[in-house]
Structure 1
């Protein structure tokens, strides 16, 4: 008998089998990776520490500091001893104020005190204890506002550099002054009671109150082209400057840093926007006194 001819496998069928084998191997490998990843996720979920409210607040504060919509602040138009002149109604352009924090025209006039205590910063013998309060019903956390204010007052370019003043954040007990963040209407009431004209636009320092207008805290000023957290530093330094006895100053010369005690919201007069009373070397960044 003759030998039967050998059956040949077509090239197409061979390629199909090899392709199927590759697909099976890929799925097996992917399955192993998913199982391993799932085990790792389960281990992380079972062993990670619980997230506390404080940690959540810390993350939110870090996002604020990184430049997400956040408070800003502006300088004052008045000191406790002098009547403020009318301040222009100014609002930054939308591109410079991306915040989504609401700015009610007015609020209840009641405040929440930040539950925070800090160490004394500075070497000066005059230790000034202060509290930070936020008007009820606005989208600014008292703890976040207190932390930011404390950072400003602890900065080496701040008022501690004068060698006279030290500061301590307190949440209770005696104090020398309070920083109040309030709606424009409430600012007008507090400042107006002392004869100061703020027109819903600016801040003031009266008695033991450093009063921060929420509008400036959120929107900043079109005259200040630096980062928003620098503008927050300007308002704290300006108003606390009044509280410790400094009056208004003006530009010392074109191209020089504007004094922190200058009403920069009214125009820089040739100076460069600046939030700090001292430079890195400790020199006072002042200018001629004005009424």
Structure 2
């Protein structure tokens, strides 16, 4: 083969080789582009959240909806801060079984937001309270009994009744003295009884008094459980204060005193007034005497 022919053949081979290289380069570039495109599509879900704010997840986050609880109406529950609607927490509310004392109160005898369970009837059997206080060695012996199942602690009831009898605003001011006993030597017995048992012991017949009143019958003072726990709708004071009125009114009968009525508008209602039937212009009062030792009287009821 001549030198000229070999040169031509070599030139053709070189050109063909260059064309094949260019094709491989183009194919590789296309393949790389396709691969990069595929890789980019697959990476979108991974990379995109890093580039854009995750508003959807923020909307689901508790922190996104937490707001301080707004002050709620005085309905007996409060809202717990840190929740969207608040968790109910019962607020302290007044207890109808309050035994903190027998002094004047500012509440209402119409019950409370949290009332104790009050059975309307019971078996008619009674539990005698153990000695509740270290009282005087002399005085009229009395005992306290609570009907079985009434839900009242007999010792607690005895402690309250003893405090009322020993209060200077009570019949102690008139010279009456009492001491608690537990046996049949008692000359006066206080019985806390369900409404039905009270009606039976008191022989209640007046329609509007059935299930509502207390009484003194012979040597027994029968205290209606309903009135002991809730007070009276007509008495402007807490149940613990109304208990003083029950004891003072019925012991007054035992001492021989009769009913009295309102002495005038705005005056204290006498303890011997049937305040459950209405105050007739007087203001509620549980005690026979005021703090200065003056008897709070009213016109006698024939």
SS at match of 2:253: helix
SS at match of 1:150: helix
Partner of 1:152: 164
The answer to whether the 8 A contact 2:143-2:190 is kept is yes
2:150 to 125, 134, 138: 138
2:228 to 209, 217, 231: 217
Partner of 2:186: 175
Q: Distance in 1 between matches of 2:114 and 2:218?
A: 31
| Structure 1 residue 112 corresponds to structure 2 residue 127 | yes
Partner of 1:69: 96
1:237 to 228, 232, 248: 248
Taking structure 1 as the reference length, the TM-score comes to 0.64
The answer to whether the 8 A contact 2:132-2:156 is kept is no
1:169-206, Cα deviation, whole Å (9 max, x unpaired): 1122411110000001000111118x787411111100
Structure showing greater relative contact order (alpha-carbon pairs closer than 8 Å, 6 or more residues apart)? 1
Name segments (4+ residues, structure 1) moved above 6 Å: none
Question: Taking structure 1 as reference, are residues 212 and 277 closer, same or farther at Cα in structure 2, changes over 3 Å only?
Answer: same
Structure 1 residue 167, shift from structure 2 partner: 0.9
Taking structure 2 as the reference length, the TM-score comes to 0.62
Gap runs ≥5 in structure 1: 1-65, 73-91
Structure 1 residue 218, shift from structure 2 partner: 1.2
Gap runs ≥5 in structure 2: 1-92, 100-108
Partner of 2:274: 263
Partner of 1:44: none
Deviates more, 1:223-232 or 1:106-115: 223-232
Partner of 1:98: 113
